[in-house]
Structure formats: structure tokens, C-alpha cells
Chains A and B, each alone.
Chain A
Amino acid sequence: MKLLRELLFPLAAVVAAFAVGAIVVLAVGDNPITTYALLIGSAFTWPDGIGYTLFYATPLIFTGLAVAVAFRCGLLNIGAEGQLYAAAFMTAWVGILCAGWPAWLLLPLCFLTALVAGGFWGAVPGVLKARFGAHEVITTIMMNFIAVALASYFTQYHYKPQGDPILETVPIGAGAHIARLGRFVPGFPERIPLNLAFPLALLACLLVYLFLWRTRWGYEIRATGANPAAAQYGGIATGKQIVLAMSISGALAGLVAVNEVLGYRYRYYDSFSAGYGFTGIAVALLGRNHPAGVILAALLFGALLRGGLFVDIFTEHVSKDLVMVLQGIIILFVASEALFRGLSRRRGKGV
């Protein structure tokens, strides 16, 4: 019963957002019904629709988990974008530096790099908050810009192939490549970039769930987020929990690198992220900061990203920005959902 209620609010927010979106589509001069049909329909065709939907959902699962873990500790991690960029670049860098290494060595190394780089980029704001009380919202946003700028610098000046007009690095070693799912699924072409990072993302969800609810550290993180005074009373070192949560959060965001660098482009590609870090916020909020919810929300937004491309091409007036608009409205509604909660509780008490 409680599960039903938990699902109801996000669903209501999504439906409401689509309703507002329909008005926007009308205002722009297109037919909402055909637009939405295109949006949703193109996301679920086989193999391309589903393939790309899942491919886009993969980084969203990682960033959604990242933001969710931070939220559980009472922290707003707006820095998933920077964390994933830092990790992506560092992963590519290792893949380039050790290009000749065999797969059994290089792959784990790159994977580890993604975790550590992302984790570090998340730990810095964590320490700043725990030690100095610096608000993590501002520090993570600043770290975003710094990460993008630094990655861009290194790419442009040190790792770009000669004469290449695109801002990207040289390719990483073949040993670091991750297989596309097309290799394992019959009837699924390998040209679709959906790769092993997707099952990894699902695994990450399971691990995050186990961590948060079955381990002591996870419990202490959640307690710190729920009631720092009580956590302190129970002997929990809240400062350490903050740093831990931000590090894990950053590491999770960093895993986006596995999908992008190791599984798709095989290099670092400047500005590759389609706002995955920010969408991760919407995913976490919509998914109620729970791994299961994150998967569902990520699928939704992945589908929207995929469908958005089609809407962009095949409608008269509506562009793929409709997806951004829907996203923003969803977040607004979910954030104000706390109000609906409050209203229903108050009404129940009869005050």
C-alpha cells in the first residue's frame, strides 16, 4: 500500500508535466497527440528505439544513483556533471597512456580510474563542507566548471590528434574497450552503442541498495541525512559520513566514463555529456532517491532523450528541447510535491 503511494506522486508529477508540455506544444503550433506519440513511440522500437533508450539511460542511472546517495546523506550534489567529466578524461588518459597493455590489466585499471577520479572530484566539496561548512551546492557547481575547463585544456593542448578539428583525444588502447551488447544478444546490431556498461549500471543499483540498507556505513550515511543530531548522539561521526557520501556519489557519477569512453567513443570527446549530471538530479528526485526508482526514472528520461531526437527531426515546430522543458517541469512538480504531502497529512489530522 505504501509502495503504491510512493509511486503515485512521481507518476502524478510526470503526468502533470506532460499536460503542461502539451500546452506548450500547442502554443508552438504542433499537435500534442502526434508529438507525444512520436516521442514515446520512437523510444521503444526494436532494435534502435530500445537500444538507444537503454544506452541513454545508462549514464542517467549512474548520475541518478550519485545524486540519490548524496541526498540520503542530506547533501545536494549538483556536481555530478563535473565528476563524470573528470572521470571520463582521466579514464581516457589512462587508456591512452597505457594503450599497449593487455585487456586483463588495462580494463580494470581504467575502471578503477573512473571510480577514483570521480570519487576525488566529489570528495573535495565533501571535505569543504565537513571541515569548513562550505555549502556543497556552490562548491560542486564551481567544480563542474573547473573540471570541464581542465579536461578541455588537456585535450586541446596535449591529447588531440594532429589536424583534427574536433575537440577529442587520440583513441584509447584496444585493451580497454568494452563489448557492445550486440555481440551477445541475437538480432541486436553492434552498431548500436549499448554496451556492457548497462548491465554494470543495473549491478551498481543493486550494490548501492545493499550498501545503503545492509551495511553499517550505509546506515550511518542515511542516519546522518535523516537527523544529524540523532546520528551524533548515536556516536556517528557526521563529518566523515559527509565526505564518504560525496566520494561515493562522485565515484558513481564517474562510472559514466565506462559507458562513454570505454564502451562508445573509445576516447575522450569534449562536451560529450548531454547534461547527464543535471538530469541525474531529476532522475534521483523522481526515483525518490531509491535505486529501484532511479532505474525507472532513468528509463523514462532515456526514452525522452531518444524520442526527443525524433521529435526534433520529424515535427514542424517542436524541437528536442521539449525534453528539457518537460524535465524542468517535472522537477518543479516533484519539489513542490512536498506540499501535496503536507496538505494531505494536515487534512487528515483535521486541524
Chain B
Amino acid sequence: MIELREITKRFGDVLANDRVNLAVAPGTIHAIVGENGAGKSTAMRIAYGFYGADAGEILVEGQVRRFESPHDAIKLGIGMVHQHFMLVEPMTVAENIVLGIEPGSAVALDLKTAEARIRALSDELGLAIDPARRVEDLSVGQRQRVELLKALYREARLLILDEPTAVLSPQATAEMFAILRRMREQGKTIVIVTHKLSEVLDISDEVTVMRDGRVVGHRRTAETSAAELARLMVGRDVLLRVVKPEAKPKAPVLAVRGLSLTLPDGEKRLDDVSFEVRAGEIVGIAGIEGNGQTELIEALAGLVDVGAVSGAIELQGKDVSALSARGRRARGVSHVPEDRHRRGLLLDFDLMENSILGADDRPPVAVGPRRFWLNLDAIRRKTEKILEEFDVRPPDPRLPARSLSGGNQQKLILGREVDQQPKLLLVAQPTRGVDIGGIEFIHHRLVELRDGGCALLLVSSELEEVTALADRLLVMRQGRIVGAVDPGRTSMEEIGLLMTGGSAAA
């Protein structure tokens, strides 16, 4: 039905798709799996005409096609349901669906006809969507079905669903799958982009595995297993071995009990999380991104609205759940954020002003009554020390943070957080976008910190990294801790299965 040949796409320095070859047979449900950043979404966006490929071609039903925009793809019967819904909330379902292809004339929008047709489509597939309702009143599962209807309304014969069950409860997922099966019976072709292996095995006929921008395998679902898929998805050449002396943990520094985070719309991002981190150990959190790790770190750092969090957070025995971010920093918590551009740096400020972020209210940086004045000399010395100790290049304190490479920015952030001599260091995605040399360096410093008596909580979606560094490993899925393993004695496959929800027996 559709085929991608040698598709290549670059975004700046990143090679998102590297000569991708993919063929989807008509009338099947085809799954594309891979970890975050594997290139699955990019490939599908190219198939949909949202991006243009740098090289390669797309064939639809045997004919080479050029897509200038999604319009062209839609005309050929290709529809896409995005991971992040493209819906206008105050408008009704019908209005959202007809946006761009409005029926009627320029002076009279014919919503009645549209609504009738939508209702018919909805009934046919058992979607139970009322076209006159406002999107903002719909649940997440219902909104997704609206997205589905959008594609069906445009007479899509091939539907691409990007992480369709990412935001669905198991119940809603089962309903969605029933719908997909009905669509397949109608002769439609479906492509699901996902990282959930259990679902792949449940619903798909064929599966393509992608990793690091390349296709690494293609199987008929009936002929493969979760274990094999997990291995293809996650296994890679071992890049580095971290030489790590045995950990000597002491007293607990961080104790989390029953931590839950509920968003205003009722969604639970953290569900009854409990664990401990002791001084002198690294506790790693593994899991596919988006399963609550971000929220966990932000809740611990004090960056989440206090009202949304329930449960206890204790620092060296004292409850800090009501303490502000600044208060927690004062108690010895430091934080390397996962999004360094958004959270971690003031890009247009120089390195000196960045090195005091988070520590600007303490001597030697701030002096005088009420810590009013900044001691510029002390700041410069502190910056130079950090630049030197953490090998930040170029080591010029006056440069704007923007001018540093990703790896050097990360080293700067780590350096400044470590310079605070924290008792607890929260680290998220420490080596994202960092070159090999930088990765090694950062890993070493983290272990060093641990041996100096600090307690570290490390979140990383790079399974390799977190298993190499952690002394104890917790696996998170859907906001819960689903497993606690010894990283030295557990296979990647087992961990991968915990992460993705597949069971070992498949």
C-alpha cells in the first residue's frame, strides 16, 4: 500500500532517518516500534507529507509520489492521527473535523450535513462520538477518536497512528483496538507507531523495528516474540564500560512514600511511588520517557504545584513536601534538569551568571545585608573553578551560554550543581545530546560524587547508561514503579520488558 525507500532526513546535526526502507501491505495492521528518538515519528511525518525527505522516495500503491504538503497525502487517502492532538478545544467535534474542508458555501457553513456524516461514520465503527459536543468536554480517549474521525472523514484508506495508546488507560486501549480491528475488516490499512510491545503483539500483523534512525528488523508478528523485539529495539553495541567500585551506601538521604501527582484534569502522572536513596549510592530510574519520570524529578525538586502532589518526601528524615524549590536547595538538593535549554540555562547570559543559577542567594556569591550584593570576584572565581574542574570548553567565563556546545553546556550545569556540595543530586537525562568524550566525563564525575557520600537519583531513557551507573535500578511505567532490580545481574531484555509492559513468556 505504501512504501518508503531509502528515506533520509536530517534536522540540523541530527540524522533522524538514515536510509529507511519500509513497506506496508494493504489491509494489514503494521506496527513500527522503537525507543524515543528512534526516528519512527519522523518517518511517518514524511509519509504524511508534513516533512519533506532529504533523499529517498515514497511509493503509494506502486507509484512514486511527491508530497508538497499533507494535502497531497490526504488526497491519496493517507490520514494521520498525531500523538499530540491537533484539536481546537472550544469548538465542537464537527467544527474540528471539517476545518480546512468546510462543506457548504462561503457564506453558509453546512454543519448539518457534516454532523450527519460524522454520526454515520461513528456508528459504523462504534466510536460513540456526538459531533455536536465541544472538544473541551471530551475525555482523552474520546478526543483521540475525534482525531480518528478526522482522518476517516477525509476518506483515508491508510491511517497512521502515532503512539495512539500513550495517553490511554488499559480499558480505553482495548476499545481502541476493537475499533482498529473493525477498520481492518473494512479494508483499511493501519500503521501504528508505538513502543509498547504488548500492544504490538496484541494487535499487529507485521512489525518493523527502528533504532537510531535505521530500520533494524522486520517480522511477521505471529513469528516473533516480545523478547526478540525488545532485543532489536534496545540492544546496541556496548559503547562504554563504566569502571565502578562497589558502592558503600550509608544512611538514607531521600525517602519517598506514596507519592502521587494528579493533574487538574484528573490525570494521574505519579501513582503511589515509594523508594529510598541512601548516601553513597546511585539509584537509577529506567523507563520509556513519558511514564512519569519527568514529573517525579520535578516533584522532588519542588517545581510542581504543591496542591497537586500528595504523599511524603523526606530529606534526611525531615518532611520537605511543603518546601519551595529554593528551600529544598538550601537543604542540600541539587538538580540537573532534563531540558537544559528550558530549565537549566539562561542562554543569553554569560557563563558566570549561569554558574550562580540556583545558588545566587548564598555566600560567597551573595553578600551583605539580606544577601543583597553579588560578589563579582567570588562569582568569577567560582565560574573559573567549575570550568576547569569540569573541562568546559572554551573556558571563558564571559561567553554567552548559547555559544557552548550541548556537551559543554551539560558539563557546566553538572559542575555548578556539584559545586553546591549537595546531599542529594537529582539528575535527569545527563548525557542527552552530549558527545562520547563528554558522556564518559560526566559518568565519571557522577560516580565520584557518589563515592564522596552524595545520594544520587538518576533518570535516563538510555537503558545502557542507567544500568551501567546505577547501583540499584527501579523501572517506571505509567507513573508507577513496576520493578526493582539489580542492574548488574539483570539482562537488558528483562529490563526492556518491564519498561514496555511485555511479559517474559511470549
Binding between chains A and B: yes
Knowing A214-B374, A214-B376, the reply to whether A230 touches B345 (Cβ < 8 A) is: yes
**How many angstroms from the CA of A231 to the CA of B371 in the assembled complex?**
18
Knowing A219-B374, A229-B342, A230-B345, the reply to whether A235 touches B366 (Cβ < 8 A) is: no
Tell me which residues across on chain A come within 8 A of B360, comparing CB atoms: 216, 219-220, 234
Q: Is B353 an interface residue (CB 8 A)?
A: yes
Assess whether B373 is in contact with A230, with CB atoms less than 8 Å apart: no
Residues of B290-329 whose CB lies within 8 A of A: 301, 303, 324-327, 329
Q: Is B440 an interface residue (CB 8 A)?
A: no
Chain B 346-376: CB-based contact to A (< 8 A → 1; otherwise 0): 1111000100111011000010000111101
Nearest CB on A from B299, distance (A) = 13
Tell me which residues across on chain B come within 8 A of A234, comparing CB atoms: 325, 357-358, 360
Number of interface residues of B (CB under 8 A): 29
Assess whether A233 is in contact with B361, with CB atoms less than 8 Å apart: no
Q: Is B287 an interface residue (CB 8 A)?
A: no
Knowing A216-B360, A219-B353, A227-B347, the reply to whether A233 touches B325 (Cβ < 8 A) is: yes
Knowing A216-B361, A217-B372, A219-B356, the reply to whether A237 touches B324 (Cβ < 8 A) is: yes
Nearest CB on A from B244, distance (A) = 29
Number of interface residues of A (CB under 8 A): 19
Nearest CB on A from B360, distance (A) = 6
Assess whether B342 is in contact with A235, with CB atoms less than 8 Å apart: no
**How many angstroms from the CA of A220 to the CA of B373 in the assembled complex?**
12
Assess whether A233 is in contact with B344, with CB atoms less than 8 Å apart: yes
Assess whether A226 is in contact with B346, with CB atoms less than 8 Å apart: yes
Residues of B46-72 whose CB lies within 8 A of A: none
**How many angstroms from the CA of A226 to the CA of B301 in the assembled complex?**
21
Q: Is B236 an interface residue (CB 8 A)?
A: no
Q: Is B337 an interface residue (CB 8 A)?
A: yes
Residues of A221-257 whose CB lies within 8 A of B: 222-223, 226-227, 229-237
**How many angstroms from the CA of A234 to the CA of B353 in the assembled complex?**
12
Nearest CB on B from A41, distance (A) = 40
Interface centre among A220, A222, A223, A237 (most CB of B within 10 A): A223
**How many angstroms from the CA of A227 to the CA of B348 in the assembled complex?**
10
Q: Is B423 an interface residue (CB 8 A)?
A: no
Nearest CB on A from B120, distance (A) = 43
The DSSP consensus for interface residues of chain A is helix
**How many angstroms from the CA of A236 to the CA of B343 in the assembled complex?**
12
Q: Is A215 an interface residue (CB 8 A)?
A: yes
**How many angstroms from the CA of A234 to the CA of B376 in the assembled complex?**
19
Q: Which of A214, A216, A229 contacts B371 (CB 8 A)?
A: A216
Q: Which residue of B lies closest to A213 (CB)?
A: B374
Tell me which residues across on chain B come within 8 A of A232, comparing CB atoms: 303, 325
Q: Is B335 an interface residue (CB 8 A)?
A: yes
Q: Which residue of A lies closest to B329 (CB)?
A: A235
Assess whether A214 is in contact with B373, with CB atoms less than 8 Å apart: yes
Assess whether B343 is in contact with A235, with CB atoms less than 8 Å apart: no
Tell me which residues across on chain B come within 8 A of A237, comparing CB atoms: 324, 326
**How many angstroms from the CA of A236 to the CA of B360 in the assembled complex?**
9
Assess whether B324 is in contact with A235, with CB atoms less than 8 Å apart: yes
Q: Which residue of B lies closest to A210 (CB)?
A: B373
Tell me which residues across on chain A come within 8 A of B325, comparing CB atoms: 232-235
Tell me which residues across on chain B come within 8 A of A230, comparing CB atoms: 342-346, 357
Nearest CB on A from B267, distance (A) = 21
Interface pairs A-B: 6 shortest CB-CB = A235-B326, A234-B357, A234-B358, A233-B343, A235-B325, A216-B366
Apart from A233-B357, A237-B326, list 5 A-B contacts with CB within 8 A: A216-B366, A222-B349, A223-B357, A234-B358, A235-B326
A–B Cβ pairs within 8 angstroms, 27 of them: A214-B376, A216-B366, A216-B372, A216-B374, A219-B356, A219-B374, A220-B360, A222-B349, A223-B353, A223-B357, A226-B346, A226-B347, A227-B342, A227-B345, A227-B346, A229-B342, A230-B343, A230-B346, A230-B357, A232-B325, A233-B301, A233-B358, A234-B325, A234-B360, A235-B324, A235-B329, A237-B324
